[in-house]
Amino acid sequence: MPEDTQGRHVIWHRTDVTRADRERQAGHRGMCLWLTGISGSGKSTIATAVERRLHEEGYRTYLLDGDNLRHALNADLGFSEEDRHENVRRVAHVAKLFVDAGVVVLCALISPFREDRARARALFDAGSFVEVHVHCPVDVCAQRDPKGLYQKVQQGLIQNFTGVSAPYEPPEQPEVRVNTDELSVEQCVNQILQYVRPRLCLDGDKVTV
């Protein structure tokens, strides 16, 4: 990375241990699985189940859940459009660090705008970012309403709610799309893992399913 050009005198420090070193130690590639979808679609549930399966199979994993991050790292952010952009930017940079560490990191957050998700993808090497669209019709999500948010929207207690009164731009060409109104959690997990497993293998490794 070049020297700082914004007058802050902050220069990138290169470390001796590389991503390739960490991946060889882990025995698999680092990867970011970015799960996007409207509230109630099942992002966190599926991300949790995918992480559990990968962990049990011996992969190094970590789950960055959007709500959890808003308790600390992004506690200063609200839900304006500007804050939503910044929320995705921060999570993407944290995820990049995990991938550099040779970890399979799962990011589960609404991330409603295509432009933000494209910027997140651009941080990663080709093949290291997998966009997973967790799709579910808004009426089904409203029926589920696991956090009671849709009810608060109907009561006028929440404004600018994604998928109802604020836009959600679904991925046009995600690597994986799971339809949670049609498939069980296990079926969704299997669909994601079928795509991911071969791509986690280091060169020369055999795929185990």
Q: Tokens 């500007």 belong to which residue? A: 82
Q: Kindly compute the dihedral angle of the four CA atoms of residues 85, 86, 90, 96, in this order, to the nearest 10 degrees.
A: 30
- What does the block give as tokens for 155? 């009561």
Q: Tokens 């994986």 belong to which residue? A: 176
Nearest to 42 by CA among 114, 125, 144, 123: 144
pLDDT above 80 for 27: yes
| Sequence-ordered list of residues with C-beta below 8 angstroms from that of 140, at least 6 positions apart, any chain | 40, 181
Alpha carbon 106 to chain centroid, angstroms: 5
Q: Sheet containing 176-179: give its strands across.
A: 61-65, 104-108, 31-36, 129-135, 176-179
Binned at pLDDT 50, 70 and 90, residue 207 comes out as: very low
Which tens digit of pLDDT belongs to each residue from 94-116?
Answer: 999 999 999 999 999 999 999 99
- What does the block give as tokens for 16? 């001796």
Full-model pTM:
0.89
Does the domain spanning 21-200 belong to CATH 2.60.40.420?
A: no
Helix (H) or strand (E) holding 34: strand 31-36
Q: Which residues belong to the active site?
A: 111
Q: No. of H helices and E strands in the chain?
A: 8, 5
CA Rg value for the chain: 18
Which tens digit of pLDDT belongs to each residue from 31-88?
Answer: 999 999 999 999 999 999 999 999 999 999 999 998 899 999 999 998 888 999 999 9
Nearest to 92 by CA among 134, 40, 36, 53: 36
- What does the block give as tokens for 50? 């995918």
pLDDT above 70 for 205: no
DSSP state of 168: -
DSSP state of 162: B
Percent of the chain exceeding pLDDT 90 equals 75
